[in-house]
Amino acid sequence: MTTISPGGEAADPAAARPPGPPPGQGGRRASVRPIERLTDLAIAAFLWAFRIVVLLVVVVGSIATLASGKYSLETWVDLIENGLTLGSIYALIALGYTMVYGILRMINFAHGDIFAGGAFAGYFVAVALAGAGLLNANPVASLLSVGLMIVVAMAASTLMAVGLERVAYRPLRNAPRLVPLISAIGASFFLEYTYRGLFGPGIYAYPDVAVLGEAVPVPILNMQWVDVLVIVSALLMMTVLYLFVMRTRLGTSIRAVSEDRDAAALMGIDANRAIVLTFAVGAAMAGAAGVLYGLKFTQVYFYTGFYPGIKAFTAAVLGGIGNIPGAMLGGLFLGLIESVGPTLFLDGLNVPSPNQLKDVIGFTMLVLVLVFRPSGILGERIARGRA
């Protein structure tokens, strides 16, 4: 029976019992807790051992490699330059992942294939320009041709992303979070095999742009103009994107919807327009990255978007998923680690063919960052309601 206490609150006679486990369960709980503590201690010990082993490999391997004098300063500069070039491409793709996650709290696994679509669009424009004799007519015509390739690729990727959002994601916006994820994986396979059906399984080689293959006239920099184009274009586009999101009314609407969609709607912001704009801007960055990737690595085929897409997603997580500067930093960090890490960390330990282990190095760094800082390098802890 329930009575009212002098303070006016309902008093339950059972509440007068001293704290402790229910009758008959004390022995079982007492036996479970030590096991849980031992499990937690074992996991913590394993994580610390993993950190120590990786730290020893990095420190000892780096000291041994540098002490051997096997590589010259020019070699290290080349590795850093290659890392910056690759990281710039990763960063551009990662922006799409992090923006979509920031506004919808979902991972758009089809984003890598949006990148591949931009690479294909740029390739066909390049072939047409080469056939017309404009691609290598003179340096100015070459640069204008590359600009046209990037613009067309951005437009094609944007159209694909907007269509994908309307068909595959918008109907599932209020569904459980696992459902849009499955839809994104299905959309990724759909795009990949659409490319295979349209273009076949063969590899397409980008036409050479003579001016981009020339060496930069700086003695210590063993770079080609294509590397300068990739790095400068990526930095410029990332800067413009950051200013757009932080300094414009449309960017403010995107950030408002990302923070609280319902409150933003009450303030008169069109949430659908903000979400579509987010997909469009992220896809445009990926389309430009597709052309830069094709100019740098020269090849594109139906599966081109898979590995760069996974690496870019890794870069977004490294930097802090949902954080635009974090995606930029994560891409550059991952590119440098993949380029410099295998030689610096493993060559001094006499590991055979260390460059073939670049993926292991990159994903090990991801694990370490997430162990030490689960929210990423620049990420913030997400409230439980938003996570």
Cα–Cα distance, 237 to 322 (Å, whole number): 18
> What pLDDT was estimated at residue 357?
85
| 379 occurs within a structural domain | no
Distances (CA, A) of 346 to 48, 56, 362: 21, 11, 13
pLDDT band at 267 (very low <50, low <70, confident <90, very high): confident
> What pLDDT was estimated at residue 280?
95
- Kindly report the CATH number assigned to the domain that includes residue 216: 1.10.3470
| 7 occurs within a structural domain | no
Cα–Cα distance, 327 to 158 (Å, whole number): 20
Which tens digits make up the pLDDT trace of 89-122?
999 999 999 999 988 888 899 999 999 999 999 9
Residue-range definition of the domain harbouring residue 84 = 73-372
> What pLDDT was estimated at residue 265?
87
Q: What's the token pair of residue 262? A: 């319902």
Task: Give me the number of domains the chain comprises.
Answer: 1
SS3 325: helix
| β-strand partners of 224 | 215
Lowest mean pLDDT among 155-164, 280-289, 321-330: 321-330
Lowest mean pLDDT among 8-17, 36-45, 85-94, 358-367: 8-17
SS3 4: strand
Which tens digits make up the pLDDT trace of 180-227?
989 999 999 999 999 999 999 999 999 999 999 888 888 777 888 999
pLDDT band at 32 (very low <50, low <70, confident <90, very high): low
In terms of pLDDT, which residue wins out, 46 or 295? Answer: 295
> What pLDDT was estimated at residue 14?
46
Which tens digits make up the pLDDT trace of 338-359?
999 889 988 888 888 888 888 8
| 355 occurs within a structural domain | yes
> What pLDDT was estimated at residue 380?
59
Lowest mean pLDDT among 15-24, 161-170, 198-207: 15-24
Which tens digits make up the pLDDT trace of 45-90?
887 888 888 888 889 989 999 998 888 888 898 999 999 999 999 9
| 384 occurs within a structural domain | no
Residue position matching structure tokens 């930095």 = 235
Taking all residues of the chain, what is their mean pLDDT, rounded to a whole number? 85
The sign one gets for the Cα dihedral 366, 370, 375, 379 is negative
| 13 occurs within a structural domain | no
Beta strands in the chain (DSSP E): 3-4, 10-11, 204-205, 299-300
Indicate the pTM of the whole model: 0.84
| 8 occurs within a structural domain | no
pLDDT band at 16 (very low <50, low <70, confident <90, very high): very low
> What pLDDT was estimated at residue 12?
47
Please, are residues 378 and 325 in contact by the beta-carbon 8 Å criterion?
Answer: yes
pLDDT band at 9 (very low <50, low <70, confident <90, very high): very low
> Is residue 385's pLDDT more than 50?
no
**Closest listed residue to residue 91, CA positions, set 326, 355, 369, 380:** 326
In terms of pLDDT, which residue wins out, 43 or 117? Answer: 117
Chain centroid, CA 88 distance in Å: 11
> What pLDDT was estimated at residue 6?
40
In terms of pLDDT, which residue wins out, 298 or 12? Answer: 298
pLDDT band at 377 (very low <50, low <70, confident <90, very high): confident
Please, are residues 247 and 74 in contact by the beta-carbon 8 Å criterion?
Answer: no
> What pLDDT was estimated at residue 15?
46
**Phi, psi values for residue 299, rounded to 5°:** -120, 145
> Is residue 19's pLDDT more than 70?
no
Beta strands in 155-302 (DSSP E): 204-205, 299-300
| 198 occurs within a structural domain | yes
Q: pLDDT over 90 for what percent of the chain?
A: 50
| 82 occurs within a structural domain | yes
**Closest listed residue to residue 291, CA positions, set 233, 215, 222, 213:** 233
Cα–Cα distance, 87 to 33 (Å, whole number): 46
> Is residue 381's pLDDT more than 60?
no
